[in-house]
Structures are given as structure tokens and as C-alpha cells.
């Protein structure tokens, strides 16, 4: 009876450790995503500001269309690259968050 209680207590301790490690991994990952999002927002704002300055300085309609086209192309490419990077970060969060549970699942029920 005492041995079963000790095993149950160890399983509870192992599960708690896994939860703490998973929470740490999620926290770290979310912080990385927040830093990336802030960096992207800053770069996007700077790019938009520079484009507005170029548009104000455009002397012809053709030049204004060229500036706007370049901006849209660069903004789209930046968005796609950022979306890919954020997707990779989310994938990494999922892998890191579930890693502590892999050891628990792999253990047989009566293993020590």
C-alpha cells in the first residue's frame, strides 16, 4: 500500500515538473513572438513613413505610382516573411511545450 502511494506521489511530482517546464517553454516562446511582432511593427512604420516622404516628393504621377508599387511589393514580401517566422515560432512553442510530457508518456505505468 505504501509503495503504491509512493508511486502515485512520484507520478504527481513528475506531472507537476512537466507542467512547470511546459509553462516556462510557452512563456519564453510568447515573449519571442512579442519581440518579433514589435520589431515588425517598428519596421513597418518606418517603411510607411519613408514611403509617404517619397510620395510627397514625387514630381510626376508615374513616379508616385512607382513608389506606391514598390511599397506594396516590399510590404507584401515583408508580411509573408514575418508570417512564416511567426508560424515557425508557434511550431517551436508547441514542440517545446510538449517535450516535458514525452518522457511521461514513454514511461510504463509501473516504472520507477
Q: Looking at the domain assignment, is residue 20 inside a domain? A: yes
* pTM of this structure: 0.73
Q: Looking at the domain assignment, is residue 24 inside a domain? A: yes
Q: What is the pLDDT of residues 3-50, one digit of tens each?
A: 777 777 877 888 888 888 889 999 999 999 999 999 999 999 999 999
| Average pLDDT score over residue span 92-112 | 74
| Separation CA 101–CA 108 (nearest Å) | 13
| Separation CA 97–CA 89 (nearest Å) | 12
- Count of domains for the chain: 1
- The model's confidence at residue 95, banded by pLDDT at 50, 70 and 90, is very high
Residues in the chain: 112
Q: Looking at the domain assignment, is residue 54 inside a domain? A: yes
- pLDDT of residue 72 exceeding 80: yes
Q: Looking at the domain assignment, is residue 84 inside a domain? A: yes
- DSSP states along 7-72: HHHHHHHHHHHHHHHHHHHHHHHHHHHHHHHHHHHHHHHHHHHHHHHHHHH--SHHHHHHHHHHHH
Residue position matching grid coordinates 514542440: 95
Burial grade of 75 (CB within 10 A; 0-12, 13-18, 19 or more): middle
Q: Looking at the domain assignment, is residue 51 inside a domain? A: yes
**Residue 92 is part of which domain span?**
2-106
Q: Looking at the domain assignment, is residue 112 inside a domain? A: no
Q: Looking at the domain assignment, is residue 111 inside a domain? A: no
Q: Looking at the domain assignment, is residue 15 inside a domain? A: yes
Amino acid at each position: 500500500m505504501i509503495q503504491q502511494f509512493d508511486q502515485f506521489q512520484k507520478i504527481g511530482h513528475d506531472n507537476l515538473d512537466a507542467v512547470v517546464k511546459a509553462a516556462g517553454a510557452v512563456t519564453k516562446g510568447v515573449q519571442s513572438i512579442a519581440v518579433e511582432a514589435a520589431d515588425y511593427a517598428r519596421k513597418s512604420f518606418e517603411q510607411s513613413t519613408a514611403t509617404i516622404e517619397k510620395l510627397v516628393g514625387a514630381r510626376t504621377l508615374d513616379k508616385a505610382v512607382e513608389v506606391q508599387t514598390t511599397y506594396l511589393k516590399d510590404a507584401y514580401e515583408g508580411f509573408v516573411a514575418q508570417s512564416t517566422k511567426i508560424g515557425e515560432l508557434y511550431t517551436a512553442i508547441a514542440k517545446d511545450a510538449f517535450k516535458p510530457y514525452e518522457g511521461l508518456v514513454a514511461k510504463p505505468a509501473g516504472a520507477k
